Structure 1
Amino acid sequence: MRQIVLDTETTGLSAETGDRIIEIGCVELLARKLTGNNKHFYLNPERDSHEDALKVHGISNEFLRDKPKFAAVVDELMEYCAGAEIIIHNASFDIGFLNKELELLGRPPFTGHVSKVTDSLAMAKELFPGKRNSLDALCDRLEVDNSGRTLHGALLDAELLADVYINMTRGQDALLMDVADSGAVGAIVTRVDLRQFTLPVLLANDQEAAEHEDMLKQLDKASGGKTVWRQVPVSTVA
């Protein structure tokens, strides 16, 4: 599956009241690996950014005056995103702006061009209930280096989000392992299926069981008693 991690910067918070996109950053993933085939656009929004927005992204109105309008890059953007899964943090915000830009050009909504849209903020809320799940908070929690992020920028934020997404979903390949001779130049990577091995079952001791129960109580409190683990039947190992 081809995935595109996408982020935008805008003149303000409301596409419906006339705010526009000023920057789009896209990062491509193939088989959950960065390809380097990225896209980045600065756009002339044909209006000034709100003062609060300027404090967030730092992109001056003067800098954008000679940049292309959305209409000039729309074909390139749509071709690049066509058929991919799009990953966005707080997707409703960016999709709302993209849809409004397309609507102004008499084009169908953005979601009609892609296979699906995944909201990484919704994913993070499920993984880390009751915690802060901003991009900066996730970078800190997942040890993604965001030291260069003093202001928001669409391409930088998309690159950071790609690393965050890979970290949040790394359990998807838990039953497969890449084996290679790290010291060899041009080493051949062999895919080993761990399901062929019989793994020993190690039961939790009393201390570990108590710590597990304490964690479940914290999740119960954060989720309002909706901890999924409580609903999973516990099998007994003889």
Structure 2
Amino acid sequence: MANIIVTGSSRGIGFQLAKLLAEDGHKILAISRNDKPVKELNNPNITALSLDICSSEDLEEFREYLEKEGAAIDILINNAGSLVNKPFLETTPEDFKKVYDVNVFGLAALTQLVIPFMGSGGHVLTISSMGGIQGSSKFPGLAAYSSSKGAVITLTELLAEEFKDSGPSFNALALGAVQTEMLEAAFPGYQAPTSAAEMASYIADFALNGHKFYNGKVLQVSNSTP
């Protein structure tokens, strides 16, 4: 059974991932600013930690926790995300910073922290978006979000090259629309064709097995976005 870190685990895909993987017997470190929803699952395979990946203090505490536990991490699923839906001319520098702090800078900082605790066969899986894929259909109002998701796709490719001789492996999944609380907040009333639980099932399987076939790749996972 694998030791897996899941970020953004308080709701949506992250919550479903933690639940599904733990039910399958894997040991989960579930990270989010709000650890209550995962703790309420009362699953002995889940350790829920309240942690803000944008906080250097929180990250240092997490590093100390991993060192104290003698942690050996098999899989890191970078799922935490932030989304702002505003016309570009109304999107402030603070809006961009808020989104990039979570989607890019926090993700990079956590990945940097976790890699020393991973072996050569480890897998860092980043959850990106079809909005970050060059040539895909774009949606007005998502300048900050989609550009940040494009950034982590490129980061994935770069890290795969940098660590190709030593491991771990790095891949990204570019998701289409998934019915989550974040999507509902950004696009009230919109109904996505895929549920969070359905997508979590696909991501869980890829996290466990995808690095056996791919490294430095971005796979498009969408039945809704050209």
Greater strand content: 2
Based on CA coordinates, which of the two structures has the bigger radius of gyration?
1
Identify whether the pair has TM-score above 0.5, normalized to the shorter chain: no
